[in-house]
């Protein structure tokens, strides 16, 4: 019998053991933040899960200027479309919207503030706004990831990568600025 780090007697290459720990540290934050700064979308995920996993766990790093089109999560199993956010570094604005796109609630999630995270119920339309550079949040939601059906977008909002999307992001970010 072979051990995980050894080959077998048929000459097959050794099997590498899976890492016991996945570190979530400042070095990881910095590396993913650099990728987000260089990405056209101004954000980057770092998955801790496999796409087929029943629970999705990942870091989402956002830079100011990233546009997250308003969406909700729906799943076949009732209640499985929840989404949980916890800000680990910086500040992120969370906007809750109704089906017409009207802002119902605006929440400032801060790594060092009074509100650090939130769990959204299934079907709640929302968007995110980076309020600081290198904002890092941990996300948790039901899997497995289905790219074609993961998000139900509000159609009245512009698609990513358009001038209208950039304008919309600036308007949303302004909602979190102090009143003059």
Read off φ and ψ for residue 136, nearest 5 degrees.
-120, 130
Can you give the residue ranges of every domain in the chain? 44-149+162-174
Burial classification of residue 90, based on how many CB atoms lie within 10 Å of its CB (0-12 exposed, 13-18 middle, 19 or more buried): buried
- The pTM is what? 0.85
Distances (CA, A) of 76 to 21, 119, 122, 134: 32, 19, 11, 34
pLDDT cut 70: percent of the chain above it: 88
pLDDT tens for each residue of 127-176 = 999 999 999 999 999 887 776 777 899 999 999 999 999 999 999 999 99
| pLDDT value at residue 84 | 96
| pLDDT value at residue 74 | 84
Reported confidence tier of residue 1, pLDDT bands at 50, 70, 90? very low
The second-level CATH assignment, the architecture, of 44-149+162-174 is: Sandwich (2.60)
| pLDDT value at residue 4 | 44
| pLDDT value at residue 78 | 76
**Of residues 38 and 14, more confidently modeled:** 38
Task: Single out the residue of 96, 84, 93 nearest to residue 64, CA to CA.
Answer: 93
Reported confidence tier of residue 179, pLDDT bands at 50, 70, 90? confident
């Amino acid at each position: 019998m072979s051990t995980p780090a050894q080959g077998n007697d048929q000459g097959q290459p050794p099997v590498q053991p899976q890492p016991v720990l996945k570190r979530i540290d400042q070095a990881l934050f910095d590396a993913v933040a650099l990728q987000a700064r260089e990405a056209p979308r101004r954000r980057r995920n770092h998955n801790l899960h496999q796409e087929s996993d029943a629970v999705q766990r990942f870091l989402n790093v956002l830079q100011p200027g990233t546009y997250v089109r308003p969406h909700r999560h729906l799943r076949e199993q009732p209640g499985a479309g929840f989404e949980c956010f916890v800000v680990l570094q910086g500040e992120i604005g969370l906007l809750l919207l109704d089906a017409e796109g009207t802002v119902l609630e605006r929440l400032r999630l801060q790594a060092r503030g009074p509100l650090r995270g939130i769990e959204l119920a299934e079907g709640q339309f929302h968007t995110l706004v980076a309020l600081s550079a290198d904002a890092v949040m941990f996300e948790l939601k039901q899997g497995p990831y289905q790219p074609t059906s993961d998000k139900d977008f509000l159609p009245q909002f512009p698609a990513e990568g358009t001038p209208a999307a950039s304008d919309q992001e600036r308007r949303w970010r302004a909602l979190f600025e102090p009143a003059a």
